[in-house]
């Protein structure tokens, strides 16, 4: 310390001594700060640029994968719709010739009946002309003529009554025929209704295909709208499948609880794989995983999921064999689990009895046999059913895996962008910091700088005065 | 694309499995050696000791070991071990062993008689040897005593003992009449034992006087 007991004054004196040296090294120090700024800020900015470029590439790659997956999915959807239409056409339109024949027959019959019921006026009898001629005959009070005319009148009346009765009978039979029309009309109406319904169904399916085709075209054109729709769909699928998988994990945990204790009876409870993981627990978990795998194979062979292309590509016969093998294994596992659940119940009861006998308190009364039977049965049923329930995990698992690619990709892009942004900010911050340091350095040596400015001003003032006097003399 | 995803998942799970399937060679079992003081008036406390043993039987798992020995005039002997067992890895067999062990202890409690002297050190040495032989991961000696050691003239116990990596738990350390007159005697006795046990390399020294809180007894 230059001034003992006064650090402030000592520091000031040291600063005053150091000031000329600081002034002398000003340019070097400025260059140093700038170099440091470039040295740190440059790579940071470069890194940020690289990260942004990587994020762009990743986004492009994600888009390509998303569109490819979407194309595949929509393609499958369209294929399924076509299959549905094919089945519809085979089922409904295959019967169309028969339907048409039936319709024609019914129409012909209706036509024939219609013709039958047409009102045909009775033909004028041939003797009408004769009657007309007779009517023109003048009786003139001739009794003979009168009698003949009377006779003719009576005969005409009889014939008229007969013709009228015949006409009424014919009308009645026509009405009966018309009445018989009704079932045919109803049948025709029903048949046409069926045809209409089927054609409407066909039209609906065609509309669905049209919508899917439009989607397919948009995917092929790689439009923003298609990408956005697919991304949203993937996020929704991810959320739903995660939820269902969580429920499945809950089921698996229940399953694990059911079989972990009896497994310790089989493989021993004293072996540990890690400090907290027992071999018996791992064995129980392996059984659960095997059940899930068998379920996966069942779903694959049923072509509900498409996780293993090799299974989808096998022959129909082989696929059926794999299906039955997986189903048999599932049944075996279910049977084993039901047995283990029973064993667990027995072990728990034994442990409970031991604990009660060890307790110094009063012994509890034995429970009702029915009450004991209900949980035992429930455990056995659960043990049998859960493997089959776990088999269905394959469906949400597939959705989860596919949507994870999109969601994970998007999250990764976001992360890379955030990193790039942070690096850019850091780079700028370093460069600005170096500029601030340069200014601060100048502030520290402000006194020599002021002197320098004054000297420069004085020099320039003198030279200007000299040049002015020279000019005047000239 | 799906196949690639599945391959990646399989690779990740294989990697995880290979890490997790490295069998842990350390022993995860625990061994407990319980010393029961049967000298003088303390022999009347043996009922409490029985409760503690029953608690141990209810708590210890398959693969664990348990031994109960009595502390009498000279306790450095296998003959003083009343019952010992290593529980079978099968829970059903372990339960049967626990029942048999309980029956042995019941018989001992009915026939226990007081001894003239109290050789706690001999019991500790015997216990340490037994626990080391079991090879258990966690070893505990429970001393059910008033911790007042009284040796006859011929018995030599004033030498360092080895209780490395063993937890020592003193249970039900009752106050003697003399302790009531001068509590410093009680404190001093406990302090002396703690020092001796820690000097012997024990991992922990615990005092539990309230046997309603036995859960601390086996905690590591």
Q: What is the pTM of this model?
A: 0.63
Task: Judge: A268–B62 Cβ closer than 8 Å, yes or no.
Answer: yes
| CA–CA dist B51, B56 (Å, integer) | 9
Residues in chain B closer than 8 A to A63 (CB atoms): none
Q: Is the pLDDT of residue B32 over 60?
A: yes
**Contact between B56 and B162 (Cβ < 8 Å):** no
What pLDDT does B5 receive?
Answer: 46
Task: Judge: B54–A360 Cβ closer than 8 Å, yes or no.
Answer: yes
In angstroms, the Cα distances linking B46 to A226, A254, B71, B77 are 82, 43, 12, 20
What pLDDT does A470 receive?
Answer: 65
Burial readout A190-220 (b: 16 or more C-beta within 10 A, e: otherwise): eeeeebeebeeebeebeeebeebeebbebbe
| CA–CA dist B136, B30 (Å, integer) | 5
What pLDDT does A27 receive?
Answer: 92
Q: How many CA atoms lie within 13 A of A264 on its CB side?
A: 25
Report the residue from A268, A347, A401 with minimal CB separation from B9: A401
Q: What mean pLDDT is predicted for residues B172-194?
A: 89
Residue of A nearest to B58 (CA): A355
What pLDDT does A81 receive?
Answer: 81
What pLDDT does A119 receive?
Answer: 60
| CA–CA dist B77, B75 (Å, integer) | 6
Task: Judge: A357–B99 Cβ closer than 8 Å, yes or no.
Answer: yes
Count of all residues that appear for chain B in the document: 220
Beta bridge partners of B68: B34, B83
What pLDDT does A120 receive?
Answer: 61
Q: Is the pLDDT of residue B40 over 80?
A: no
Q: What is the DSSP letter of A121?
A: P
Tokens coding A242: 């995660």
3-class state of residue A58 by DSSP: helix
In angstroms, the Cα distances linking A248 to A234, A280, A294, A368, A388 are 20, 22, 15, 34, 12
Beta bridge partners of B35: B69, B143
Residues in chain A closer than 8 A to B63 (CB atoms): 268-270
Packed helices A224-267 and B91-111: angle between N→C axes, nearest 10 degrees: 40
CA distance A334 to chain B (A): 23
**Residue B68 confidence class, pLDDT cut points 50, 70, 90:** very high
Is B13 in CB contact (< 8 Å) with chain A?
A: no
| CA–CA dist B62, B95 (Å, integer) | 9
What pLDDT does B6 receive?
Answer: 46
Burial class for B67, CB neighbours closer than 10 Å (0-12, 13-18, 19+): buried
Is B61 in CB contact (< 8 Å) with chain A?
A: yes
Q: Is the pLDDT of residue B2 over 50?
A: no
What pLDDT does A225 receive?
Answer: 83
Q: How many CA atoms lie within 13 A of A423 on its CB side?
A: 18
| CA–CA dist B19, A53 (Å, integer) | 36
**Residue B155 confidence class, pLDDT cut points 50, 70, 90:** confident
Report the residue from A269, A307, A357 with minimal CB separation from B6: A307
Report the residue from A65, A68, A270 with minimal CB separation from B29: A270
Which of B66, B92, B137 best probes binding to A when mutated, by most A CB atoms within 10 angstroms? B92
Residue of B nearest to A309 (CA): B3
Of B29, B124, B37, nearest in space to B85 by CA: B29
Task: Judge: B91–A270 Cβ closer than 8 Å, yes or no.
Answer: no
Q: Which residues of chain A have pLDDT under 70?
A: 1-2, 93, 117-127, 139, 360-367, 462-466, 469-474
ipTM, interface predicted TM-score of the complex: 0.75
| CA–CA dist B79, B46 (Å, integer) | 19
């Amino acid at each position: 310390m230059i001034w003992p007991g006064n650090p402030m004054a000592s520091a000031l004196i040291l600063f005053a001594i150091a000031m000329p040296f600081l002034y002398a090294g000003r340019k070097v120090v400025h260059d140093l700060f700038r170099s440091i700024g470039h040295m740190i800020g440059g790579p940071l900015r470069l890194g940020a640029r690289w990260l942004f470029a990587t994020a762009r590439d990743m986004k492009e790659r994600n888009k390509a994968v998303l569109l490819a997956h979407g194309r595949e999915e929509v393609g499958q959807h369209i294929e399924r719709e076509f299959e549905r239409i094919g089945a519809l056409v085979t089922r409904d339109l295959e019967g169309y010739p028969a339907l048409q024949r039936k319709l024609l027959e019914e129409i012909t019959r209706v036509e024939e009946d219609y013709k039958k019921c047409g009102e045909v006026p009775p033909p004028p009898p041939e003797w009408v002309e004769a009657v007309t001629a007779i009517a023109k005959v003048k009786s003139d009070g001739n009794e003979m003529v009168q009698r003949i005319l009377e006779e003719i009148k009576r005969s005409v009346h009889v014939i008229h009554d007969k013709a009228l009765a015949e006409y009424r009978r014919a009308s009645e039979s026509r009405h009966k025929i018309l009445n018989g029309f009704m079932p045919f009309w109803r049948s025709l109406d029903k048949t046409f209704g069926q045809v209409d319904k089927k054609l409407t169904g066909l039209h609906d399916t065609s509309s669905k295909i049209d919508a899917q085709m439009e989607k397919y075209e948009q995917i092929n054109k790689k439009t923003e709208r298609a990408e956005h729709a697919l991304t949203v769909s993937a996020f929704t699928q991810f959320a739903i499948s995660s939820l269902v998988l969580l429920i499945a994990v809950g089921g698996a945990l229940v399953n694990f609880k059911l079989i972990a204790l009896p497994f310790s009876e089989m493989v021993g409870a004293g072996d540990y794989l890690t400090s907290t993981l027992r071999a018996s627990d791992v064995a129980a978990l392996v059984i659960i995983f095997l059940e899930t795998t068998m379920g996966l194979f069942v779903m694959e062979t049923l072509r509900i999921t498409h996780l293993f292309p090799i299974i989808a590509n096998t022959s129909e016969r082989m696929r059926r064999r794999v299906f039955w093998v997986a189903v048999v294994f599932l049944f075996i596992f279910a049977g084993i689990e039901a047995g283990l659940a029973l064993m667990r119940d027995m072990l728990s009861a034994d442990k409970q009895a031991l604990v009660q006998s060890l307790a110094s308190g009063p012994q509890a009364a034995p429970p009702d046999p029915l009450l004991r039977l209900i949980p035992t049965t429930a455990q056995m049923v659960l043990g049998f059913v859960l493997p089959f329930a776990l088999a269905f995990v394959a469906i949400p698992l597939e959705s989860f895996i596919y949507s994870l690619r999109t969601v994970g990709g998007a999250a990764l892009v976001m992360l890379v962008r955030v990193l790039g942004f942070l690096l850019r900010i850091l780079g700028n911050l370093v460069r600005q910091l170096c500029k601030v340091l340069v200014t601060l350095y100048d502030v520290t040596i402000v006194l020599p700088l002021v002197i320098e400015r004054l000297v420069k001003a004085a020099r320039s003032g003198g030279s200007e005065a000299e040049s002015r006097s020279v000019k005047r003399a000239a | 694309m799906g196949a690639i995803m599945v391959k990646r998942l399989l690779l990740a799970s294989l990697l995880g499995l290979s890490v997790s399937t490295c069998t842990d060679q350390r022993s995860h079992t625990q061994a407990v050696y319980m010393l029961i003081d049967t000298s003088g008036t303390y022999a009347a406390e043996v009922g409490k000791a029985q409760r503690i043993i029953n608690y141990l039987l209810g708590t210890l798992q398959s693969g664990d070991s348990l031994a109960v020995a009595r502390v009498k005039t000279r306790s450095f002997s296998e003959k003083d071990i009343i019952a010992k067992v290593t529980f079978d890895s099968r829970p059903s067999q372990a339960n049967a062993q626990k029942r048999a062990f309980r029956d042995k202890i019941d018989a001992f409690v009915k026939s226990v008689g007081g001894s003239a002297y109290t050789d706690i050190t001999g019991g500790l040495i015997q216990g340490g040897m037994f626990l080391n032989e079991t090879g258990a991961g966690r070893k505990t000696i429970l001393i059910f005593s008033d911790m007042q050691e009284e040796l006859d003239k011929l018995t030599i116990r004033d030498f360092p003992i080895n209780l490395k990596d063993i937890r020592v738990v003193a249970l039900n350390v009752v106050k003697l009449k003399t302790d009531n007159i001068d509590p410093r005697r009680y404190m001093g006795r406990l302090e002396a034992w703690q020092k001796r046990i820690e000097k012997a390399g024990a991992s922990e020294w615990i005092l539990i006087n309230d046997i309603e809180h036995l859960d601390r007894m086996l905690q590591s």
